[in-house]
């Protein structure tokens, strides 16, 4: 067990600038990219919301959950159940309801799971997520292994007026971008709030927090529930974009992907989660698209490249991309100081 690390919570100026440029790029992207890439980046932004929700749990609070995808998928299923076969359903009440459903599931499961610690916590989060997975996988009434289709994207119509149409790929892109920015702003605020500082304290030294009078169970459960609800937001958007929900979205692989995104980017500041989500999704895309060398189809064996990449990452860059950037800029400023 290593000692708790300080997270990179205050983003260095260079990183802030880079993120700002990234935002400009995201806003401008649909006008320069094709439909295919607009959809791909929309999906990346959805995964970024999912990753940020996990960062709240993992990066800030220090709770490593291997079952976070359960709350992601549940909201998608909620949308699927709420959407009738013949007409679209309203965005304005299904979105909150789906998010609430995910949050409620996280609250219930969290009640059992948050009382455990360390390795136990990791294992039971995985176990309960698998339980939810099998609940849907085994029951035809819930869609079974085939999953469910969402025949119509949610409609934004209110009192006869439709402000925007999510069927339009551009509209969905900007809607998702807006959601991602809102979630980021909210979580950054949360990070510096008393609640956020308490979670950070729990991550670093839960024992001392309790000795100082903090009811840590309640705080952890709140974080777990909030993270689940935000994962639900991402899941709802996924269902909206793809029109299809299946149990795999709640499975172990999906949860593990989220963990990798958060680590890849750098934990604890939510910006890393966004960077990690984009990088991970892009990497997957690259690996799966590898050409055939001679008789070996490199793309078919994308899991091998992904696996090697992950192992190399954890051996050489455990604090992810932002961690490397921080190291690089520190070295640079040390070198500059040495020249004076």
Partner 1 sequence: MDLANFLIQLLNSVQYGLLLFMLAAGLTLIFGIMGVVNLAHGSFYMLGAYLAWSLSTLTGSLTLAILLGAVLSVVFGLALEWLLFRHFYKRDHLDQVLLTFGLIYIFEEVRSILWGDDVHGVTIPDVLSASVPLTENLSYPVYRLFMSGVCIALALGLYFMISKTRLGMKIRAGAFNRDMAESLGINIKLIHAVVFALGVGLAAVAGMIAAPVASVYPNMGSQVLIMCFVVVVIGGIGSVRGALISALLVGLVDTFGKVLLPSMAGMLVYMLMAAVLLWKPEGLFKQ
Partner 2 sequence: MSEVLLSAKNLTKRFGGLAAVNDVSISLWRNHIHAVIGPNGAGKSTLTNLLSGDLPPTSGSVTLGSHDVTGWTPEKISGKGLGRSYQKTNIFLPFSVWENVRLASQSRAPNAARWLQRATGFAAVNARAEEALELAGLQHRKHSIAGTISHGEQRQLEIAMTLATEPQVLLLDEPLAGMGVAEAERMVALLLAIKKNHGILLVEHDMDAVFTLADKLTVMVNGQVIASGTPAQIRADAGVQAAYLGEEH
Burial class for 65, CB neighbours closer than 10 Å (0-12, 13-18, 19+): buried
Smallest separation, CB 106 to partner 2 (Å): 17
200 vs 325, beta carbon nearer partner 2: 200
Phi, psi of 296 (to 5 degrees): -100, 120
The answer to whether 87 touches 151, Cβ cutoff 8 Å, is: no
Measured in whole angstroms, the distance separating CA 177 from the mean position of its chain's CA atoms is 14
**317 contributes a contact to partner 1 by CB under 8 A:** no
Hey, CA dihedral for 30, 32, 38, 42, is it positive or negative? negative
196 vs 251, beta carbon nearer partner 2: 196
4 vs 82, beta carbon nearer partner 2: 4
Smallest separation, CB 300 to partner 1 (Å): 9
The one among 90, 292, 303, 330 contacting partner 1 by CB under 8 A:
303
Smallest separation, CB 18 to partner 1 (Å): 25
Smallest separation, CB 195 to partner 2 (Å): 5
The answer to whether 241 touches 39, Cβ cutoff 8 Å, is: yes
Q: 3-state class of 2 per DSSP?
A: coil
189 vs 300, beta carbon nearer partner 2: 189
DSSP 203-246: HHHHHHHHHTT--HHHHHHHHHHHHHHHHHHHHHHHHHHHSEE-
212 interacts with, out of partner 1, partner 2, none, CB within 5 to 8 A per kind:
partner 2
318 interacts with, out of partner 2, partner 1, none, CB within 5 to 8 A per kind:
partner 1
99 vs 209, beta carbon nearer partner 2: 209
Residues in the interface with partner 1 (CB under 8 A) total 44
Closest CA to 252 of 244, 242, 260, 243: 260
Instruction: At 151, list the tokens.
Output: 């025949």
80 vs 124, beta carbon nearer partner 1: 124
5 vs 43, beta carbon nearer partner 2: 5
Residues pairing with 158 in the sheet: 161
Q: Which of residues 115-154 bind partner 1 (CB under 8 A)?
A: 115-120, 122-124, 126-128, 130-131, 134-135, 137-139
Q: Which H/E stretch holds residue 292?
A: strand 292-293
**81 contributes a contact to partner 1 by CB under 8 A:** no
The answer to whether 14 touches 187, Cβ cutoff 8 Å, is: no
Binding site for partner 1 (CB under 8 A): 1-2, 58, 64, 66, 112-113, 115-120, 122-124, 126-128, 130-131, 134-135, 137-139, 252, 256, 259-260, 263, 301, 303-304, 306-311, 313-315, 318
């Amino acid at each position: 067990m290593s000692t708790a690390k300080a997270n990179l919570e205050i983003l260095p100026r260079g990183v802030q600038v880079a993120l700002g440029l990234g935002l400009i790029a995201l806003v401008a992207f649909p006008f320069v990219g094709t439909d295919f890439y607009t959809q791909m980046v929309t999906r990346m932004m959805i995964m970024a919301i999912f990753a940020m929700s996990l960062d709240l749990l993992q990066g800030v609070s220090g709770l490593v959950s291997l079952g976070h995808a359960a709350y992601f998928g549940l909201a998608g299923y909620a949308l699927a159940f709420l959407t009738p076969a013949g007409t679209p359903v309203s965005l304005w009440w299904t979105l909150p309801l789906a998010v609430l459903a995910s949050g409620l599931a996280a609250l219930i499961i969290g009640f059992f799971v948050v009382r455990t610690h360390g390795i136990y916590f990791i294992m039971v989060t995985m176990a309960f997520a698998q339980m939810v997975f099998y609940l849907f996988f085994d029951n035809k009434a819930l869609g079974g292994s085939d999953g469910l289709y969402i025949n119509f994207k949610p409609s934004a119509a209110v009192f006869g007026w439709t402000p925007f149409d999510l069927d339009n790929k551009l509209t969905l892109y900007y809607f998702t971008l807006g959601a991602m920015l809102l979630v980021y702003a909210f979580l950054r605020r949360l990070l510096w709030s008393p609640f956020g500082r308490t979670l950070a304290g729990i991550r670093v030294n839960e024992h001392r927090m309790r000795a100082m009078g903090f009811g840590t169970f309640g705080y952890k459960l709140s974080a777990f529930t909030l993270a689940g609800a935000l994962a639900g937001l991402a899941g709802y958007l996924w269902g909206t974009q793809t029109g299809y929900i299946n149990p795999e979205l709640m499975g172990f692989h999906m949860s593990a992907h989220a963990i990798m995104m958060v680590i890849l980017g750098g934990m604890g500041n939510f910006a890393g989660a966004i960077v990690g989500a984009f990088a991970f999704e892009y990497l997957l895309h690259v690996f799966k698209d590898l050409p055939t060398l001679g008789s070996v189809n490199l793309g078919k064996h994308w899991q091998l490249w992904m696996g090697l990449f992950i192992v190399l990452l954890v051996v050489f860059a455990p604090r992810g991309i932002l961690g490397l950037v921080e190291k690089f800029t520190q070295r640079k400023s040390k070198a500059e100081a040495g020249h004076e």
